[in-house]
Amino acid sequence: MGEVIPAGGDGALKEKTARLSVASNTFLVATKLAVGVAIGSVGIISEAIHSAIDLIAAVVAYFSVRQSARPPDECHTFGHGKYESISGLLEAVLILVAAVLIINEAIKNLLGGVETLNVDALGAGIAVMLLSAGINLYVSSRLMTVAKKTESIALESDAWHLRTDVYTSAGVVGGLVLIKLTGIVMLDSFVALGVAVIILKAAFDLIRRSFEDLVDRSLPPEEEARIREIINEHCTAVISFHRLRTRRSGPNRFVDLHMVVPRTATLEEAYGIVKHIEADVKGEFPRTSVTIRVQPCTGEDCLACAVLSACPECEHLTLHGGPEKER
């Protein structure tokens, strides 16, 4: 008893937002690379590399949200939600590659003592980095808003990438300003190393989150606790539940449990309780599949079942009222 709520209009919204990320990253890669090479700034070039990786990640996110929006089929009966988790993992690997490239370039400059930076052209570098920060702040805010609305880990990952770009762009701007004020060109490489450290942290955080979905980790404790509360609202002295299990697959949640009802309960009564629980869980957690296995109480000396059998007039009150209880 359960179904995944289809993405519906959310799928089109996610695709549109993912395309915006692809377009903005394409523009920023070209702009940063041109200015970075022109003035010889390893800091700006490192940001161009970062944006290039973000562009690849945005393309991966775009195709993953398209796939995850597809309805369940014969080969994927639980839907395609894990495409988004795989996308998050691939994006994390790409971020690690970007960090390694940046660190390699910065260390080469430090050890070689090569001063390639054109100090006289720093104004152009500062301008392009400020432009980058502004564009990424806007796009990441759009991505995060849609990600929260549609519960898309792929778009949320992309949003965090761009939000990281905002911070690193600000760091590069600060480094360029200090170089302009002090004339210490080596600061450019140190700023690049700082950018790499921030990128590495984002990559490890994303790897952890993606793996949690791929290995079917339970929902966050606060979500699972709320689901228990919703189910408990339907429990009485003679109705209980156990073996609650939860997991996530991209934007979709899966909840299954066993519900124990009196031996005297009819199929119609049990089905009614199941539908109420499903409706209440989905009302608070959209895109959730709720599967409930109903089983009769098997206790030989179950006083509640005995009371129900002996007193049919009390059946309605006993089934639908009474203290909360979990077995």
Per-residue model confidence (pLDDT) at position 112: 66
Q: How confident is the model at residue 196 (pLDDT cuts 50, 70, 90)?
A: confident
* 41 HSE (CA, 13 A, CB side): 35
Q: What is the pLDDT, as a whole number, of residue 310?
A: 46
CB 175 within 8 A of CB 187: yes
Report residue 299's pLDDT band, with 50, 70 and 90 as the boundaries: low
At residue 258's C-alpha, the angle toward residues 301 and 280, to 5°, is 120
Looking at the predicted structure, is the pLDDT value of residue 29 above 50? yes
pTM score of the predicted model: 0.57
User: Cβ distance 94 to 57 under 8 Å?
Assistant: yes
Domain map (residue ranges) of the chain:
9-214, 221-320
- pLDDT tens for residues 137-149? 998 888 888 888 8
Q: What percent of the chain has pLDDT above 70? A: 80
Neighbours of 220 (CB within 10 A): 12
Query: pLDDT by residue (tens digit) across 41-91?
Result: 776 777 787 778 778 878 887 887 777 767 776 776 676 677 777 777 787
Q: Domain 9-214: which CATH class?
A: mainly alpha
Q: Domain 221-320 is in which class?
A: alpha beta
Find the radius of gyration of the CA atoms of the chain: 27
pLDDT of residue 7: 41
SS3 291: strand
pLDDT, residue 125, reads 76
Does residue 223 contact residue 212 with C-beta atoms inside 8 Å?
Answer: no
Instruction: For residue 180, give Cα distances in angstroms to 20, 40, 41, 127, 135.
Output: 34, 14, 12, 14, 24
**Collapsed DSSP state (helix, strand, coil) of residue 242:** strand
Average pLDDT over residues 263-282: 87
- Reported as a single tens digit per residue, the pLDDT across 166-191 is 877 777 777 778 777 777 767 767 77
Are 171 and 195 contacting, i.e. CB atoms less than 8 angstroms apart?
A: yes
- How confident is the model at residue 182, as a pLDDT? 77
Helix (H) or strand (E) holding 244: strand 240-249
